[in-house]
Structure 1
Amino acid sequence: MNDLQSTPLRLRAGLLSTLLLMLILCIWHVATLRPATNAPGSTALPLTAEQIEYAKLMGKSVDAPKKADGFPTLDQMAQTFVKHFADPFYDNGPNDKGIAIQLAHSLGRVALGFLLACVVAIPFGFVIGMSPMLSRAFDPFIQVLKPISPLAWMPLALYTIKDSAVSGVFVIFICSLWPMLINTAFGVSSVKREWLNVALTLEVSPFRKAFLVILPASLPTILTGL
């Protein structure tokens, strides 16, 4: 019964979403309309000597038609979309690659930064969670570094590392580190005391206690941090 009642609601919601999309596209089209430059009576102001010198200094041709400024039109967006997806794997040099190659490079950086964060944060969080003294010692540093935005890390990484690819991996690493570290430490420190007492009674070694008692109990919290 509930499914039957929710079906018209879904249809109305889908119709409303479609209408909103069409409205946004119409506003976009109207906002990006430009007056015809070749209309009778329309004259372009000549460039001053300073503007000509500046154009030459920037490597621009003075006689070349000026590129249209402002937000792109829907037609330009469609042409760019078709251009990028017609040949997504082309490679014309380091600064001219297809969208699929660029996407693969970006996903590779994300995967590498995330993997490095896992390798560092999970063991370190385990150690912090098992030691109240280390937890209190490192907590001020974590609380200071955790709120720093990726936009603040990026220029520092570029200035220090001097490599855009490595800097991107570092920013992903540093932004993924804190949620993993905090959740791992919290999960380890929140293991029920009764379970630890049972392991102590059975004289379980610290290594076996960490992998057979603490890790399974804290795994849901660790996965939440990932």
Structure 2
Amino acid sequence: MNSFSLKNSISNALYFIGSMLVLIGLWQLVTILTKNEIPGPVATWQVFMELMSEPFYDRGPNDKGIGNQLVSSLIRVFSGFGAGSIVAIPLGLLMGSSKTGMKLLNPIVQILRPVSPLAWFPLGLLAFKAAEGATIFIIMITSLWPTLINTAFGVASIPDDHKNVGKAFGFSTWKYITKIMLPYSIPHIITGLRLSIGVAWMVIVAGEMLSGGVGIGFFVWDSWNALSLERILVAILIIGTVGLLLDKGFNALQNAFSYNQK
């Protein structure tokens, strides 16, 4: 690691620490202003340590450790996100490469994209006859749009020079897709995936509140019923931290592909 990279890493770490201190300060201020109705950082930390003392215990369907809750949510998120990506990427390639495809599919996308995940849940229950399937369905249907739109944009923005190279060398459709279309548009696809995983992680909380059972969203709802605001705040911090890590992971992937294309 050269001196510039080291200085940059130290600077980023210091900014992150400063950001966390600002957050804790604002949090403590809210606690003071609400006369401790909103638990402060110290009380929440104590509950966090209690939960982390045995994160993977399992004492029945509605009594599982915070680690089990988080793992269940991540499995659902990646299942729905993966299914959505399988649908979104081919459709995005079609829309970006074909004016007819864009004109036919874009109105459908614009109608369905703004629909709330809560509105999709009853249809998921009807289709899958189970809350588990319905939760994965609403994650899939609400998270696929950023990937689809970014994929379509990436393909549509391929320069004419690139297309002419394919024509000049007589590329087949498959060779054009693998040698020109995908390599050029993959940074846009990864940007869409990065946005989609964020949407999926937000939707999981609402989905699990409706479906019940096990998961970080159910943990929030169960903590509310138990009137434990500290547990709710712990869950919020865990949700935020996992969301940050997921975003950083996809950002690193995006930077890697962008660097390779230079």
Q: What is the TM-score with the length of structure 1 in the denominator?
A: 0.68
Task: Report percent identity of matched pairs.
Answer: 41
| CA deviation string 1:24-71 (max 9, x = no partner) | 23234x254xxxxxxxxxxxxxxxxxxxxxxxxxxxxxxxxxxxxxx7
Instruction: For 2:122 and 2:21, locate their aligned partners in 1 and report how far apart those are by CA, in whole Å.
Output: 44
Query: Which is worse superposed, 173-182 or 76-85?
Result: 76-85
- For the pair 1:96 / 2:63, whether they are aligned, the reply is yes
1:18 deviation in Å? 5.2
- For the pair 1:25 / 2:28, whether they are aligned, the reply is no
Residue 150 of structure 1 aligns with an amino acid whose one-letter code is: P
Instruction: For 1:199 and 1:104, locate their aligned partners in 2 and report how far apart those are by CA, in whole Å.
Output: 45
The 3 A distance-change label for structure 1 pair 24 and 164 is same
Instruction: For 1:225 and 1:12, locate their aligned partners in 2 and report how far apart those are by CA, in whole Å.
Output: 30
Matches within 5 A, 1:118-197: 118-197=85-164
Instruction: For 1:175 and 1:164, locate their aligned partners in 2 and report how far apart those are by CA, in whole Å.
Output: 16
Match of 1:46 in 2: none
Aligned length: 181
1:99 deviation in Å? 0.7
Stretches of structure 1 lacking an aligned partner (at least 5 in a row): 33-70
Match of 1:106 in 2: 73
Q: Which has a greater percent of helix?
A: 2
The 3 A distance-change label for structure 1 pair 159 and 206 is closer
For the residue of structure 2 that corresponds to 1:148, the secondary structure is coil
Q: What is the TM-score with the length of structure 2 in the denominator?
A: 0.60
- Larger C-alpha radius of gyration, 1 or 2? 1
Stretches of structure 2 lacking an aligned partner (at least 5 in a row): 1-6, 194-262
Residue 115 of structure 2 aligns with an amino acid whose one-letter code is: I
1:182 deviation in Å? 1.2
The 3 A distance-change label for structure 1 pair 118 and 83 is same
1:165 deviation in Å? 1.8
1:225 deviation in Å? 0.8
1:115 deviation in Å? 1.1
1:145 deviation in Å? 0.2
Instruction: For 2:106 and 2:90, locate their aligned partners in 1 and report how far apart those are by CA, in whole Å.
Output: 16
| CA deviation string 1:107-166 (max 9, x = no partner) | 111111111111111122112222211110111111100111222223432344332222
- For the pair 1:222 / 2:189, whether they are aligned, the reply is yes
Match of 1:65 in 2: none
The 3 A distance-change label for structure 1 pair 132 and 93 is same
The 3 A distance-change label for structure 1 pair 74 and 158 is farther
